[in-house]
Structure 1
Amino acid sequence: MYQFVDTQPTSDTGGTSLSLQTVFDGKNLDELLTDETGRFVTLSVGGRGILNRRLDLVQMPGAHGSRVKDVTYDVREIPVKFLIADATNEGLRERFNRLNGYLKGNEKRLEFTDENAHFVATLSGANIPDEDSNSLICTMTFTCADSAKRMDEKVIEVGASESTHAIAGQDETPWEISLRFTANTDKFELRAGDIYILLGYEFIEGDRLIIKYEGREVWLNDDTDLRYSIRLASNYKMLEPGDIEVKASHACELKYDERFY
């Protein structure tokens, strides 16, 4: 039988700050797994600093060393150290079962409450000590195949008059366009830097249009696939950091995430 553990927060949790909490797929683990008989406390998080890089080196005949041909970012690993405790051993097992349920799914949104950013992550492993107590300090590791750190969504209001906007971040990023037509028209056109989108279709007042870079999805009123309406003149590209000029035939929103490494 495990020993009884005091389930109220104390100073013996490794100096944790209650401002650091783990949120996976929209579920705050610290809140969901803490109650009158037990708790889950995020103690520390790694892997959010400098990211390893893969160097593609080419040896040059007759030259010292090598030349860097290309540089890419490595897969990001995020270890999360946490305390999990319960008043009874049966309760601890049940709390682990709930934790496993919250961590299901691949490539889900992972965020921490001390930073205005998120990752796309999958749980890849865990280090759980021998259960000789009903209070355990463990580590779970998330793998981000796409290693980018994404800031919260940004929205550009695009109109018929040309305007300039600064795209922040350290790398190119996908985008989404959304609008609702206020009058009948037979096309939609948008320019945003090197991006050019031209659709031909008989839109009517009230129609809602969504265009996504990823998958080149085009949806009318959320249920009609309009990819066939994309004209060949269109130029699908990711948004590049820097100043861009934007303009559209109809007022719309251009949404994107700033990406950092």
Structure 2
Amino acid sequence: MTFNGTRKPFVTVLEKKRPYWAPLNRNIHTTRSGHTRLLNTEKEVLIIPVTLFIDGNSKEDLLSKAEEVAGWLITKEEEKLTFDDQPNRHFMAALDGGVDADEIVSFSRCSIEFSCLYKMGAEHTLPITTSNQTFAITGQESTPWTSRTRFTVPQSSFNLETSRGGKVILNYDFIAGDVLEIDYDKRDVRLNGKDLAVSLAFETVWKELEPGPVQIKASHPTDLSYSERYY
């Protein structure tokens, strides 16, 4: 198991329950005449229970390693969780609940739960040009994106558009050598590392990338990156 880019050589996953998709909460309405229809669907948080084996040679060693595990797994933000038997899928997860110290000392075990916000697959970088190109966005759910543009010539504005209605428009005098970075998830726009959100035009429409074919173009060659998302 890898969490937050780290593995522990003394920790082994003994058991895990990994639902294929997150629970769905269906809001179904029934009319007076007896007809039913689906109003909306909300995806709940995916819970993954995991039992870890902690290899230690004494009570003191086990408790010391348990503290090390706590420092590893307890994070302020969700982090990437990957299990060895499915290396091409990743969960953005955070540890939930507490740990029983007696279980660690008596059985060298640690029963924990991860709350997973979403599941990811492969990462892709698309070379966007000034002409419309068709790309196949892979995965099962819409996904956020980031972009990076290095200007080679001066420009008085920057546009990034998709055929699904998404567009980012910046009114700014860019010069050769400028590096523009956009983060959809954070609605963050930075030029050479400094905030440039003030240059966003009102016409900007923030949209995730939806699975399937989409045409994308930009007013300057741009690398656009995304990670596949799955149910």
User: How does the TM-score come out when normalised to structure 1?
Assistant: 0.81
2:82 equivalent to 1:111? yes
Out of 88, 94, 112, the residue aligned to residue 140 of structure 1 is 112
Name the structure 2 match of 1:98. Answer: 68
The structure 1 segments of at least 4 consecutive aligned residues displaced by more than 6 Å after TM superposition are none
Establish whether residue 158 from structure 1 lines up as the match of residue 137 from structure 2. no
Indicate how the Cα distance of structure 1 residues 49 and 126 shifts in structure 2: closer, same or farther if over 3 A, else same. farther
Matched residues in 1 for 2:185 and 2:21: separation? 27
What whole-Å deviation, never above 9, does each CA across 1:176-204 have from its counterpart, x for those lacking one? 11111111111111212221121111111
Choose from 174, 188, 209 the match for 1:217.
188
In the alignment, what sits opposite 2:217?
A: 247
Task: Tell me how far 1:108 sits from its aligned partner.
Answer: 1.9
Structure having greater relative contact order (Cα 8 Å, sep ≥ 6): 2
Q: Where does structure 2 lack aligned partners over 5 or more consecutive residues?
A: none
Checking the alignment, whether the CA contact within 8 Å between 1:129 and 1:137 is kept in structure 2 is no
* Aligned-partner residue type, residue 92 of structure 1: L
Q: Choose which of 35, 38, 42 in structure 2 pairs with 1:68.
A: 38
**Cα displacement (A) at 1:132:** 8.6
Q: Aligned equivalents of 1:25 and 1:150: distance in 2? A: 14
Are the aligned partners of 2:161 and 2:168 in contact in 1 as well (CA < 8 Å)? Answer: yes
What is the aligned length?
228
Structure 1 pair 93/186, CA: closer, same or farther in 2 (3 Å)? Answer: same
AA in 1 matched with 2:226:
Y
- Please list every run of 5 or more consecutive structure 1 residues that lacks an aligned counterpart in the other structure: 1-21, 35-39
Report whether the alignment pairs 1:28 with 2:7: yes
Structure 2 counterpart of 1:58 = 29
Is 2:120 the counterpart of 1:172? no
Equivalent residue number for residue 19 of structure 1: none
Q: Deviations over 1:13-64 (max 9, x none)?
A: xxxxxxxxx21211113x3xx2xxxxx2112322341332101021211316
Scaled by the length of structure 2, what TM-score is found?
0.91
1:195 to 163, 166, 169: 166
Q: How far 1:161 moved relative to its partner?
A: 2.5
